A = this chain, B = another copy of it.
Amino acid sequence: MLKYQKIASEIEMKITKLNLSQGSKLPNTKTLSQEYNVGRNTIIKALELLESRGLIYQVQGSGTFVRQKSRKGYITLLANHGYTENLSYFDLKSKVISFNMINAPKNVAANLRCTMKDKVYKVERVHFVHDQILCLEETYYKVSTIPFLNNEIVGGAIYKYIEDILNIEVGYSDKYLIVKKVDDHTSEYLQLPKDSPMLLIEEIYYTKNGDPFNFSKNYYHYEHSQFFLQS
């Protein structure tokens, strides 16, 4: 984690801890740079990061202000750290349905920019929030980037393992949202009747170096999931 990212997360924790409301003014950059004992450029970069994440807004000439917290119970679409981490403030449980190593199916190979001879780990999990079915996750990890996974790891926080143990820096992601009706497979796991609505979110995650290493298809239970986005 770079210095400005560390400062940003400290400022974020402070906003949460003090429960600062919409429009609360933060100290100016000079004061913050003294408080955190870093240069003003570091503070400016930290504030830009917080702004891009929708936590604050800056008004030229008048300062930096806290943004209202989003409605409760919505899942953020901008997070980049896998299921368990993004939903850590929900009561999340997961159940592994299947876990194996296979040759990359055609659309997986296309999204991970590899060949159909390349190996991928395939993991299927069902996630629950407050014991309600949240989604069915079908996810593929490129073995050339993620050389090892086991049952214990896929039963927990896969991204924590990738970032903390494999030391892979997650760079960015593409997400595609498509509303459709459940098919037989998703109907079974989401326990929804035929023709029910469903949100499919396809996600491709890249390392800092631009290598697509993870492709996921997440099928959300429409009655148990809502999403938000601040930009």
Contact = CB atoms under 8 A, between A and B. Distances in A.
Interface of A: 22-23, 48, 52, 54, 57, 59-60, 65, 67-68, 70-71, 74, 77-80, 171-181, 195-199, 206, 208-210, 220, 222, 225-231
Contacts of A22: 210
A230 B77 contact: no
A174 B70 CA distance: 8
A48 B196 CA distance: 41
Contact of A198 (B57, B179, B227, B231): B179
B176 A230 contact: no
Contacts of A208: 57, 59-60
Contact of A176 (B71, B174, B178): B71
Contacts of A52: 52
B226 A172 contact: no
Contact of A59 (B70, B179, B196, B210): B210
Contacts of A48: 48
A118 B230 CA distance: 26
A173 B68 CA distance: 11
B230 A174 contact: yes
B209 A174 contact: no
Contact of A57 (B59, B171, B175, B196): B171
A231 B172 contact: yes
A47 to B, nearest CB: 12
